[in-house]
Structure formats: C-alpha cells, structure tokens
Structure 1
Amino acid sequence: MDSTLTRRQALVGMGSLGVALALGRPARAATRNLAVLHLASHAPSFIAYERGYFRDAGLDLELKFFEAAQPMAVAIASRDVDFGVTAISGGLISLAEKDAVKVIGGALREEPGTVGAIVLASDKAFRAGLTDPSALPGRSFGITTAGSSFHFMAHKIAQAKGFPLSEVNLRPLQKLGALVGALSTGQIDAWAIQPNVAKKMLAEGAAHQIGLISDYAPDYQVTAAFTSTHNAGAEREMTSAFVAAYSRAIADYNAAFVDNTVDEAQRDELARIVHKYVESESPFEAAKANLVAGAMRINEGLALNMGSCIEQLDWFKSEGMVGSGVTREQLFDESYVKLL
C-alpha cells in the first residue's frame, strides 16, 4: 500500500495555518497561554502551573488544551498561545520557515534503559500475525497527521527493519482519542504511543506490545519547547522566565518518577497534580501506578538533543514535507538552553 505523504498533504494536515498567517499576528491578549496535551509527558506543565512556578517567575500563564501537535504550532504562530511543548512536526518546521515560530528547548526523549514509546498492535492484527514490527508491510499504522511524530516513528521502524515505509498504509486520524479508539476496535493495525497511554490499553486487553521505539530511535528527541519568533527575539526576559519555571518542574518530575529520589509522600503529591489532567477518569492509585511505570526522561533544564533534531529536519526535507531550504537557524533559537 502506498503511504507516500507529500508536502501538500502535510500542509493540509496543518489545518488553519494558511488562515493564521494570512490574517497576520493579532494583538497580544491579556492572558498568556501554554499549549498542552492530556499526556503524562506534559506533567511538568501541570506541576509548574499547580505549584505556582510560573507565578514565581512573574508569568501569568493559563493552560490551553489541544488534541495534536500541528494545531499547537498554528496557535503559537498566530500568538493565540505563547509557549508549547510537543513534537517537532512538519507543520512546525514550515511555520519556522515563515519566521513564525522557534524551538527553544528539548523535553521528552527516548533513553536507553527506560521504557519509552511502545509499538502496539490491535488485538485483531496481533491474532492475525502482527507480532513484530517487521510484519508491518501491507498493514495500517495510525498517525495524527502527515509530518507528525508518529509519522517519523513509523519511518524509524521501517528504516531499522529494512522495508520501505511506502509498504505501510499510514492512516492520519487527526486526534489522539481517535487513534486510541481505532486501535482498540481494530480499525487500524498498529500505532506507537507514550507508555502511560500504551500501558493502559495493554492492561485493558485492547492492544498488544510488539516493540519499543527506543530499539529503533534510541536518541530520539521526542518533544521540544517552542514559542513564537516574536517572543524568542523581543520578549527574552519572559521567555527565559518560562524556561526557568519549566525547568523547576522538570526537576520535580524526574526526581519523583524517573530517578525515584523522593519519598512516597512527595511522589503522591506530584502524582495527584498530574492525575487532575491525565487519566482523571481512573482511580488515583491506578493512574499513579501507570504514571510511575511509564515515566520517560525529560531533559534537565530543557536541554536540546540537536543531533536528533537535525536528523528529523533532514528527514522532513527528504520526504518533501517541508521546504528543502529550511535552515537550522530558522528553526532553532539556541541561546536559551544547553545543547546535547
């Protein structure tokens, strides 16, 4: 099956990008916003907000929820949102080429020895023989949009297993919830997602684990912190304050859930904060266990793995999903954090 997704298709997946840029950048709203997803990888966002780290840094930030990475990039470009932490997508890169957004740091990453994103097969596909990613040719793999992190993960699997990605039917379903539903009901054969979502599906018997993304992309910088080009250049004090506040929350998260260097009472306090936003429909103890079991490293101080980011940029170019002339300088402002 032909999975080739062109730049034109990737741009279609960006939704209101053209409208946002055509209308120009509106005047700043009084309240500033941080774009987030209902995922455990966004735990530092929730911790910084609930513990008052943003207020301590002089920022009046509210949380604004999204269902996928591409709309977050559009919201940053239009300055409806000031900051976001999500995957580097084709949409984000195209906006950077238009001088609308900048990546200013790195967040979630795959780390050897830590369970990261899990490759899942639907129960139907697993019973039909999809027990290893090498059996993906001829089957469907869920992504949110063309140019999303899920698209890149599918590429890394195909590259490692030695088959053309064009032999996999990539199914863009726009939203995380739609992907969960499609895999659970066998409408798609496979998907790869962060462990807090994957392990819940595994526990419910809705999917089967057939691999780990860390086996195929061990140094993958999964998510990055970004802001508008205006904020990065003209609002340096505010942007630096955001990096400092977010870094405090990252330290809390890693200590509690990755490095296990805090006591149970402190871990419970942080888990209850995250539970307000992630798996809030589940009993606290079950959600906490899933959070601990599925914790992935988030880079201290929002440090950025530039090697992984450049690999992603080069791949998007090679696939024709972004302009071939996009430069490192257009996409990144390297002055805010340490580079790995």
Structure 2
Amino acid sequence: MTIKTTRRAWLAGLSIVAAGVTALGATAAAANDAITIGALRFTSHGAGFVAYEKGYFADEGLDVTFEFFQAAQPIAVATASGDVDFGITGVTGGLMNLAEKGAIRIVGGVLHEKKGVDGMMIMASNAAYDAGMKTVDDIKGHSVAMTQVGSTFHYMTNLIANAKGWSMDDMKMVPLQKVGSMVAAVKSGQVDVLIMVPHIAKALAGAGAAHEIGWLNDYAEYQISTMISSVDNIENNRDMVERFIRAYAKGIADMNRVFLSGDADPAEMEELTGMIAKYVAPDQPYEKAAKSIQTGAMYLNEGMALNKTDVAAQMKWFKDQKLVDSDLTVDELVDSSFVDTY
C-alpha cells in the first residue's frame, strides 16, 4: 500500500510537530522554580555566585536571582516574609526570634572559621594603633564596630572577650547598621576596632587605612554563617530545598578547591574570580577587585554541613546576655534533615 503525501499536508504535519516541540519547551521552562537568594556582596557568599554562573542551579531546575543587603540580620527578616527564599546569615538574636515564631529554619552551614585558613581579621584604626593598640590584648576598654546589637559582629567580640577573660562591659560596642558604615567609622577613627572579612580587611590594611592586630580563629573556630529558608519552603517545597542545597554545595566545593588548595589551575582561578567579581565588586575594574577576592577566600562548609554544636553555644550566649527572651532550642532552630550536622 502506497501512501501519497502532498506538500501542503507535509507542511501542516511539520507545523503540528513544531508546535508540539514549542509547547514541550514552554512546559519545561515553566517547570523551573524561580527563587531569590538574599546575600551580601562578600567573597564568602561567592559559592552562590559560582553555582549560578556555572549553571549548577539551572541544572537543578532553579531560576535564581540575588537580592543584596547591607547587613545579615535584615536577610532573616526578608526570608521570613517570603521576599527571598534562601538567606545567608549568621545566628543572631533576630534570627532566633523569627524562628521561635515558626517563620524560618537553618537548613545548612556556609562559612566557618578554621585554623590555618584566613578568616575574620581583627583590626585597629590608625588612630588607635598610633595611640598604642598593637595587639588584641590592647582592645580592652576600647570601642568596637558592629552592625546591630545581637549581630554576628557582637558575638565575635564576645569570643575574643571570653578567650581573654574579659567582660563584654569592658568594650564599648557601637552599632552602625551597615558593613560600609563600620568600615568608614574605623577609617575615620570614630571607632577603634573592626572585625572584618579578609577580602575587605586585607584591602584596608594594604591601603594603610587600618592595621591588622590579630585573627579571630586564634581565639575560636565557629560557625559564622548559615543558610536559612522559610518553614513554608521546608514543609511544602522540600524537593526544591534539596535541589538548591545540592547546587550550592557544588559552588562551595569549587570555591574551596580553587581558592584554598594552594595548587589550583591559574586559568580556573581567573575564571572563578571573574564570576565572583561581578557580584562582589560590580563597580570596580576587575584588576582592582581580583586580588582582594583571591586572597580573601574563607573556609566554606563542605557539603553545607553544619556545626550544630556551635550553633547551640551561640544561642546560649544570646540568651545569657538577655539579647533574646526565648525558649527556642537548637532542634527548633535547625532542620537537620538536609545536611550532615555535628
């Protein structure tokens, strides 16, 4: 039996096939989950930028955008309200309050102080240094910059005070709301001490705008930042959370391997630096931003594992200091079902 096909019929059939392919493509595109990540323009947040640029999020069916903030605590508020789906932030009083209301949970670890890896630098303003502040032992009795009361910067100062046997009352904590304002206050001599991520701190020291006097990981190794998401996402879109964590963890693996291994391929180093520079220093020439990014990388939690024991210790401090009035437990703050905890 011979079937004859006219040109008109053939074209009509081709149109049907093309329409079907287009419809399938549209369905696939619609299946991607659109999510927003709340972040700071820090190299330590670079794993997300790398995961985006290298297509790890796209591979997991995630259409990602970033929303940038000037401090970590507002990221927790934005995550609780649903303005962002995931946020990179430390354990703070604000985070604990929102978790107690059933709005957010920690789902993984991001940044961790580790011996042998440059972390948060302790700095003295030029005025304080010239007046005799040469080491961390000289901090007692001086002013220390932080974003907000109950912030990670507040807690970091406590780690130093605790290691030295001081009271927090021995320092004057100065809330300045934004990281940029903290840097400006130290540069102008309005505050004496700054604890800052290395990609900013090393640039300040190199420019003679402040002095390095120590490193936080000389006094403590702690879980600086975590990944949070809303309880709504965790309970009603678990698969999306799992896919996000897989993609972000790949970005972490790339960051640690390239920036911390000491034997990275120079071409790959340049590639990742360029990816991160787009977000960390969008208004700077690449040549200016590259060095601070490459020398400012910190240790990121492999696999987004979380130091839950340290999170519990941080929570206790906030409660002991009366910065939160809460019965929240670490098991209520942390959802341990997504990553390894220890």
Using the size of structure 1 for normalisation, the TM-score is 0.88
Paired residue for 2:223, among 215, 221, 224? 221
| 278-287 or 155-164: bigger deviation | 278-287
1:85 aligns with 2:94: no
Cα offsets for 1:93-115 (capped at 9, x unmatched): 11001110000010111111111
1:66 alignment partner AA: F
1:275 aligns with 2:277: yes
Residue 112 of structure 2 aligns to a residue in which SS? coil
Paired residue for 2:244, among 242, 245, 261? 242
Contact kept, 8 Å, 2:100 with 2:326, in 1: the verdict is no
Deviation at 1:284, TM superposition (A): 2.5
Residue 224 of structure 2 aligns to a residue in which SS? coil
Deviation at 1:31, TM superposition (A): 4.3
Alpha-carbon distance in 2 for matches of 1:324, 1:318: 10
Alignment map for 1:305-316 (pairs within 5 Å):
305-316=307-318
Cα offsets for 1:247-306 (capped at 9, x unmatched): 111111111101145311111110001111223444434422222222211011100011
1:105 aligns with 2:108: yes
Deviation at 1:239, TM superposition (A): 0.3
Alpha-carbon distance in 1 for matches of 2:189, 2:195: 15
Determine the structure 2 residue equivalent to 1:183: 186
Contact kept, 8 Å, 1:133 with 1:161, in 2: the verdict is no
Deviation at 1:216, TM superposition (A): 1.1
Determine the structure 2 residue equivalent to 1:326: 328
Determine the structure 1 residue equivalent to 2:340: 338
Residue 276 of structure 1 aligns to a residue in which SS? helix
For structure 1, the residue ranges without an aligned partner over 5 or more in a row are 1-29
| 256-265 or 53-62: bigger deviation | 256-265
Alpha-carbon distance in 2 for matches of 1:40, 1:239: 23
1:198 alignment partner AA: A
Alpha-carbon distance in 2 for matches of 1:328, 1:177: 31
1:148 aligns with 2:147: no
Aligned CA-pair RMSD:
1.3
Structure 1 runs (4+) deviating above 3 angstroms are 279-283
Alpha-carbon distance in 2 for matches of 1:161, 1:282: 39
Alpha-carbon distance in 1 for matches of 2:195, 2:56: 32
Residue 107 of structure 1 aligns to a residue in which SS? strand
**Residues 240 and 261 of structure 1, relative CA distance in 2, 3 Å threshold:** farther
Residue 111 of structure 2 aligns to a residue in which SS? coil
1:314 alignment partner AA: K
Alpha-carbon distance in 1 for matches of 2:67, 2:107: 19
Determine the structure 1 residue equivalent to 2:99: 96
Alpha-carbon distance in 2 for matches of 1:67, 1:330: 27
Determine the structure 2 residue equivalent to 1:295: 297
Alpha-carbon distance in 2 for matches of 1:121, 1:220: 22
Q: Which of the two has higher C-alpha Rg?
A: 2
Determine the structure 1 residue equivalent to 2:258: 256
Alpha-carbon distance in 1 for matches of 2:83, 2:266: 39
1:272 alignment partner AA: G
For structure 2, the residue ranges without an aligned partner over 5 or more in a row are 1-32
2:273 alignment partner AA: A
Alpha-carbon distance in 2 for matches of 1:59, 1:159: 43
Deviation at 1:138, TM superposition (A): 2.3
Deviation at 1:329, TM superposition (A): 2.1
Residue 335 of structure 1 aligns to a residue in which SS? coil
1:75 aligns with 2:78: yes
Cα offsets for 1:228-262 (capped at 9, x unmatched): 01111221100001100101111111111011453
Determine the structure 2 residue equivalent to 1:42: 45
2:313 alignment partner AA: E
Alpha-carbon distance in 2 for matches of 1:324, 1:62: 33
Alignment map for 1:162-201 (pairs within 5 Å):
162-201=165-204
Contact kept, 8 Å, 1:107 with 1:225, in 2: the verdict is yes
Contact kept, 8 Å, 2:104 with 2:228, in 1: the verdict is yes
Deviation at 1:56, TM superposition (A): 1.0
Q: Percent identity?
A: 42
Determine the structure 1 residue equivalent to 2:17: none
Contact kept, 8 Å, 1:257 with 1:291, in 2: the verdict is no
Contact kept, 8 Å, 2:222 with 2:310, in 1: the verdict is yes
Residue 62 of structure 2 aligns to a residue in which SS? coil
Alpha-carbon distance in 2 for matches of 1:46, 1:38: 10
Determine the structure 1 residue equivalent to 2:25: none
Alpha-carbon distance in 2 for matches of 1:31, 1:107: 22
